[in-house]
Structure 1
Amino acid sequence: MKKLLLYILSVFALSSCYKDKGNYDYVDINEVSITGIDSLYTVNYGSVFSVKPTLAFTKDNGADTSAYRYMWLASLDNTGQTANVDTLSYSRDLEERITLTSGKYDVFYRVTDKKTGVTFGRHFMMTVVTSVYEGWLLLSEVNGKSRLDMLSKGTEGYKPTYDLLGTIGAGLTLSGLPVEVKFARLTSAASGHTIYVSTTTGTHRLDGETLKWKSPLQTDFFSDLPAGFYADKITSRTATLVYLHGNDGNMYYYMYTFSIYFGLPVNVMYGQSMPFKVSPFVAYYNDVSNSTNTHILYDMEGKRFVKHIYSLPAYCTEMPAGTMFNYKTGKDLVYMETTRFNNGDTYAILDSAHAKYYLARFNIAANIVQTYYDEMPATAISQAENFAVSPDMGYVFYNVGGKLYEYDASTKQSKLMIDYGERSVTFLKFDGFMATGLTGAKSYYNKLQVGVYDPSLPADSCGTFELYTVPGVNGNLILNESYTGFGKIKSITYRER
């Protein structure tokens, strides 16, 4: 496609007549009406894109196509550029194979009457997608090794690509057991989008657009990593901010806005020099417009919540006094997750010597406010393997083997939602999206994501990914979508757009 240097106007025809400079009379001209073009199209990369507009003329029937010039132009959306516009076609109808880079484009169709030189036009949006443009990434165990699969969103829904890295020739062969896969935005620009893939032999970064291998984790660090290091949990709630917990028991922090890069551990109390052993969980302020607010970590040795704020990026500080419970809990943290429930409540499940379990909730806004604290007499809670919290209902979901439970804090009761029998649950999650306005998040932010393992099936196809709607008043789960053919699912993330 030929590149042109020109300025695209969103309004192509400013008048339906022109002034005769000799006598200043106005003369009617041939007007062109353009219909039959939708406002938005999604096109697969490499496919033929066809648009056949309907043209109506006020001075002729339009049969003489030589009397007009036609042009289809495409420019990347929201780039602010008025140059390097791609010309898709010079024909009346568009019938071209699209080889533009994946992304969203402003497309302009122009029809010029050669006799008068007046141009008429229509504008629409076109999204070019590839097989890895958007969708679910699933990291699974297959015969003692790791495999990355993808459910790619296309024009006809989600389709699986098994062994994604091998299929696309990513230049990376995974070894070791699966740990985590995570989509993150290191910068707000598309070039800052990345996928981290962790196994027990290391963490690698994939290019956000092509999903091909880009670099080992070490290149993102300003300090040397110990041998055998890998990230066991990555928290990225907003663009430009990432918390990374390593298998060395330390937490590392990245914030592009303030030029803070992964380096020394941040799990150090202010005024001290030795790191404390920190939990992999991070609590935060749920409002994405204020991503620089306080974050909460958990000191596993001191058994207490602590604050980490951007103004003291290398240290943690003490929490304020609590109104419902002491932030120095003296208990082990089993699970912690910030949710969208109650405008951003963080849920923390605490274990008191394996005898009693407690549910603590607090909200991080202008102040840190405690919203709930009570014993959690949930069925078989001491054996729970995975947890997730509904952003709509606030129910806590957890599994014990193949039994999936829902715990309602208002009634302090558990309900067995699904009994998978000989199968087991290997993954539970809600949300995980940057913002609910994003394409995938609109449909899935409040769906329960479940990974199910069937030991009777071959190792390379023993996993199923299920998506459920959670009704109110403890209603039964409603299965929305189910996909098969994966390994034993360990971690899932969504490549957002």
Structure 2
Amino acid sequence: MKRKTQSLRIFQYSLAFLFILVLGSCYKDKGNYAYNMPIEPKIIGLDTLYNAMVGDSLIINPTFENIAKEDIECTWEIAVPEAIDPTQYKYVGNSVRTIFGLQAKLYNARLTLLNKSNGIKYFHDFKIQGQTEFSKGSLVLSIENGTTQLSFVKPNGEVQPRIYEAINLKPLPSIPLSIHYISNKFTGNTPLGYWIVCKNDGVRINVNNLKQEELKSGTIKDNFFLPPASIDIGNLQKHEQGVLMGVINNKFYGGITTTWDQANTYGMFGNYADGDYELSDKFVMLNINNQVSFVGFEKTRKQFLRFNVYGAPMYFGTQYTVSSTATFDPTNLGLDLLHIVQINNTDIYAYAKDASGQIFELKFNVNFNGPFTFTPLHKIAFTNQQILNAASKIVATRVGNIFIASGNKVYRYTPINQNLTEIETKFTADITMLKLTEDEQSLVVGAGTSIYYTNITTGSNGTLKEKIDGLPGTSIDMTWR
């Protein structure tokens, strides 16, 4: 037994000594290895984004360095979610030369480069933006001798008049109100179409070819799950998720956003926001931290109303707390609303008149996403009673300026100091359209058969930048992409 114990101890000591020798060898050998990494092939002339005209040639022809020509094997793939057979958008060869037959969408693509000498693959991702002749430019909605017209304005200012009827071989509905380019902000600004809104109907057209939609609802009448007996549209605005929301038949409607935005039912109208109210067509949409709410106005009771969006618009009426009624009482205003605009996420200005015709400026803040408060800030007589009426056009910038068009003049109004000045550009015809570009660097004015782009950047008071002539009739609204 003693001899076995001694033998076990000798074995344990030998094993420990061997382990120490191995560690020492590893330590001494540290850093003695030389790695011969293969040189990575270099691809010259492969862009990150390609613009491809639908129906035209798509050519991608890069060159390669640090790799022998005979060792190159390239595979190109375009990810096309709507494709029935994705393999038809897979190409083999050192270049791609094909006819781009996809839609005017943004597609992800990948080049896989195989070095056949060592079997190593290299991946390079890029994008392809499909385009048509209508992918860049503006659409102008106008009225010509009582007929609704749609014109396309190319980036160089060239006008293609009456284009809707030329493409669709039928007229638009009468009494045009607005036009909207709709896209879903939350899915990478996916284009969903154009909505042309008229008094008793509207038409949705495809962004690629300007044809009336066939798979999705092609008209506003078709955009209802249960259409009302008649349609009287007051005002529809676009929501950031690519649907229309606003006033129809004096009630508040909103397109559904609870399905996939490519579904045929996306954006359709369900029931209106249920409640006892007769809504003015003037309202503002608030978006604070991606929480949308609306300030509306009840025409009969003359009170400001709260609407929230919880999957669909919901009517809450005057279910909000008023901080003080000393300035004015929003639940019992006693005035008729003419216009309402939002300066930024807090300041809202409304213009309303009393029974004698005097016009007042109301300033207030709301928080309709909790704790649901309404804060009146001031009520004053407007500085120039003659320029504001129901026919006036009015827009507001985020930096605090309000532009008012009355007759053939446009004024810049600063509500902080009540300064009112006419802009420098002059117009010979009455103004029928007033818009801001998305960057709010230009004020776009429609007067007669022309559109004027005026400079409203800091230090400039509406100097003329560009004029587009030759529109059919007088402009009502426009949009661009």
TM-score normalised to structure 1 length: 0.74
Sort the Cα spacing of 1:369 and 1:238 in 2 relative to 1 into closer, same or farther, 3 A: farther
1:308 corresponding residue in structure 2:
307
Instruction: Report if the CA contact (8 A) 2:43-2:62 is conserved.
Output: yes
* Residue pair 2:394, 2:404 contacting (<8 A) in 1 also: yes
The answer as to 2:179 corresponding to 1:181 is: yes
C-alpha distance in 1 between matches for 2:125 and 2:191: 29
CA contact (8 A) 2:74 2:94 kept: yes
List per-residue Cα deviations over 1:431-463 (Å, max 9, x = no partner): 6xxxxxxxxx4xx4453221121xxxxxxxxx2
Q: Which moved more, 1:158-167 or 1:95-104?
A: 158-167
Q: Is the 1:180–1:490 contact (alpha carbons within 8 Å) kept by the matching residues of 2? A: no
CA contact (8 A) 1:187 1:193 kept: no
CA contact (8 A) 2:442 2:457 kept: no
Alignment partner, residue 72 of structure 1 = 76
Paired residue for 1:451?
Answer: 446
Q: How does 1:249-398 map to 2 (within 5 A)?
A: 249-257=250-258, 262-266=269-273, 268-269=275-276, 276-287=277-288, 289-291=290-292, 294-310=293-309, 313=313, 315-318=315-318, 319-323=320-324, 324-327=327-330, 328-339=332-343, 341=344, 343-353=345-355, 355-365=357-367, 366=370, 367-378=373-384, 380-383=386-389, 385-398=391-404
- Give the alignment's Cα RMSD to 1 decimal: 3.6
**TM-score w.r.t. length of structure 2:** 0.77
Is residue 384–residue 399 contact of structure 1 (8 Å, CA) maintained in 2?
no
Structure 1 letter corresponding to 2:426? Y
- Counterpart Cα distance in 2 of 1:204 and 1:126: 29
Work out the percentage of aligned pairs sharing the same amino acid.
Answer: 17
Give the counterpart letter for 1:491 in structure 2.
Answer: I
Aligned counterpart, 2:202: 203
Q: Deviations over 1:322-369 (max 9, x none)?
A: 544321221111111334x3x343321112236432222333334444
Query: What does 1:437-476 correspond to in 2, within 5 Å?
Result: 441=438, 444-453=439-448, 463-472=449-458, 475-476=460-461
Alignment size in residue pairs: 429
In the other structure, the counterpart of 1:399 is 405
Q: 1:230 Cα shift?
A: 4.3
Secondary structure of the 2:202 match is strand
Say if 1:158 and 1:127 are closer, same or farther in 2 by CA, change over 3 A.
farther
Q: Which residue of the partner structure matches residue 34 of structure 1? A: 43
**Residue 282 (structure 1) shift:** 2.1
Q: 1:144 to 1:388 in 2, by over 3 A?
A: same
1:145-194 deviations in Å (ceiling 9; x for gaps): 011122356xxx67643223234x33642242323222345896688824
Rg: which structure is higher? 2
Secondary structure of the structure 2 residue equivalent to 1:148:
strand
Q: Deviations over 1:460-495 (max 9, x none)?
A: xxx22233331346x421334433221234433435
SS at match of 2:221: helix
Provide closer, same or farther for how the CA distance between residues 252 and 104 of structure 1 changes in structure 2, counting only shifts above 3 A.
Answer: same
Question: 1:389-416, CA deviations, whole angstroms, 9 ceiling, x for partnerless residues?
Answer: 3424322211222111112212223211
For residues 376 and 56 of structure 2, the distance between their equivalents in structure 1, rounded to whole angstroms, comes to 54
Which stretch of structure 1 is more off in the superposition, 259-268 or 351-360?
A: 259-268
- Label 1:130 to 1:420 Cα distance change in 2 as closer, same or farther (>3 A): same
Q: How far, CA to CA, are the matches of 2:457 and 2:145 in structure 1? A: 37
Distance 1:389 1:56, change over 3 A: same
Match among 126, 129, 153 for residue 127 of structure 1: 129
**Conserved? CA contact 1:201–1:230, under 8 Å:** yes
